[in-house]
Amino acid sequence: MKRLKIALIPGDGIGKEVLQEGVKVLKTIDKIDNNLFFEFEEFPWGCDYYVKNGKMMDDNGLEQLKDFDAIYLGAVGHPSVPDHVSLWDLLLKIRKGFDQYVNLREITLFNQSLTPLKDKSEKDIDFLVIRENSEGEYAGVGEWMNKGTPEEVVLQTSVFSRKGTERIIRYAFEEARRQKKSLTSISKGNALNYSMVFWDQVFNEISQEYPDVKTYSYLVDAASMYFIKEPERFEIVVTTNLFGDILTDLGAAITGGLGLAAGANINPERQFPPMFEPIHGSAPDIAGKGIANPLAAIWSVAQMMEYFHEGNWKDYIIESIRVLLKEGRYLTRDLGGKSLTTETGDRLIEILTQMVTENKSK
Ligand SMILES: NC(=O)c1ccc[n+]([C@@H]2O[C@H](COP(=O)([O-])OP(=O)(O)OC[C@H]3O[C@@H](n4cnc5c(N)ncnc54)[C@H](O)[C@@H]3O)[C@@H](O)[C@H]2O)c1
């Protein structure tokens, strides 16, 4: 029997609402599968915590989290706290502190009706973006000089170390080899004449070790256009922290929106716990109304199952999402339905339970 300890950080706004639905899915798995047992501990960290305590998480927060098998996060952010504080003092602290240098974001169209792209269907939009998650443009290095004066100058430095660049690109090549798919690198070597020239060079160097993997290399501006016009070009994509952040929101937009997009933060050496989260934020505009789409958070549970080598459960969850979207009766407003977050979550669990039971009896 596998006992897995999950740290829950619901965070702020709709983060709390959608995480509850994901936890219901985990509890369903726990109930059905005699070999899996989940233990949960919830942490109250986020913007409310900041307002009361002047910090987003406990000072020894990473110490408290380090022995968990996974962290499951809702979302952080509230208008009462500057966004750079809520992001850097919780989310990025965990990603960096636990060296979760791989960010996995699947861009999969479940149902043709969900894409705003004309003439594109499920077979055209199905790829994985591997985003560098520990350095690059989000290294947090810079300077703010002569603040508030006419001579004010701000520097935000990107950091691309050989170790950091090689390890993400190598990870992507390994994944492409394993899945027998092509690998596309997205950079900007023409304008960013140090960092992105270096990125392209490392990509070329490592590609020599993987002659079996077909490669492509695009500038980020061209790649943005192809995401819309020809998404079928992509199978596996590797890119930098900033480009990956932006492009995957675009990826979400062509597959049904932020309510359907999940992201996994992984330390592949498994020295530290991974963190699973929907990629959307706390959505203050709809928070507290019970109308947020929980499917991104539920998809995160599927990614968690894959990380735990429980691929069957990943497949069941993904298939259940597909069925729920196809039947179209329990969709939240962002997808054109009228259901509440909890109703969508409950229906998902019904579909999942039925699917597993039917499969067992075969
Ligand atoms: N990972 C994170 O925790 C994360 C990510 C992005 C933004 N943020 C924070 O969230 C706050 C709001 O940021 P934002 O408005 O730019 O982005 P957002 O993702 O919160 O919302 C963008 C839009 O998408 C909608 N939306 C998002 N998720 C949805 C869901 N599950 N169901 C239905 N609609 C959904 C929102 O209603 C909003 O109109 C800010 O404080 C920001 O810093 C946090």
Residue with CA nearest ligand 1 atom 21: 283
217: left (phi over 0), alpha (psi -120 to 50) or beta: beta
Pick from 258, 295, 299, 330 the residue to mutate for probing ligand 1's pocket: most ligand atoms within 8 Å of its CB: 258
Tokens of 119: 């003439």
> What is the model's pLDDT at position 361?
77
Sheet holding 275-278, edge to edge: 36-42, 2-11, 70-75, 275-278, 262-266, 102-108, 126-132, 236-239, 183-187, 215-219
Cβ neighbours around 71 below 10 Å, total: 22
CA of 150 to the centre of ligand 1 (A): 35
Provide the mean pLDDT of the chain: 96
> What is the model's pLDDT at position 63?
97
CA of 214 to the centre of ligand 1 (A): 36
CA of 142 to the centre of ligand 1 (A): 26
Angle between helix 341-360 and helix 311-327 axes, rounded to 10 deg? 120
Share of the chain above pLDDT 70, in %: 100
| Residue 1: pLDDT over 90 | no
* pLDDT tens column, 297-350: 999 999 999 999 998 999 999 999 999 999 999 999 999 999 999 999 999 999
Residue with CA nearest ligand 1 atom 30: 259
CA of 283 to the centre of ligand 1 (A): 4
> What is the model's pLDDT at position 121?
95
* pLDDT tens column, 182-211: 999 999 999 999 999 999 999 999 999 999
Confidence of residue 224 (pLDDT cuts 50, 70, 90): very high
Ligand 1 pocket, CB under 6 A = 14, 18, 75-77, 83, 86-87, 91, 258-259, 277, 280-286, 292-293, 296, 334
Confidence of residue 362 (pLDDT cuts 50, 70, 90): confident
CA of 11 to the centre of ligand 1 (A): 12
SS3 category, 69: coil
- Contact present, 335 and 293 (Cβ < 8 Å): yes
> What is the model's pLDDT at position 311?
86
* Index of the ligand 1 atom closest to the CA of residue 81: 41
- Contact present, 182 and 189 (Cβ < 8 Å): no
- Contact present, 196 and 189 (Cβ < 8 Å): yes
Across the range 211-239, mean pLDDT stands at 98
Across the range 262-266, mean pLDDT stands at 96
Residues 6+ apart with CB under 8 A from 174: none
User: ∠ at Cα 322 (319, 325), nearest 5°?
Assistant: 150
Q: Give me the phi and psi of 222, to 5 degrees please.
A: -65, -40
* Index of the ligand 1 atom closest to the CA of residue 75: 3
Residue with CA nearest ligand 1 atom 13: 281
CA of 75 to the centre of ligand 1 (A): 8
- The C-alpha atoms of residue 233 and residue 128 are separated, in whole angstroms, by 12
What Å distances lie between residue 278 and 27, 79, 93, 107, CA to CA? 18, 20, 17, 13
CA of 282 to the centre of ligand 1 (A): 5
Query: Which one, of 189, 181, 240, lies nearest residue 210 by Cα?
Result: 181
Pick from 89, 100, 280 the residue to mutate for probing ligand 1's pocket: most ligand atoms within 8 Å of its CB: 280
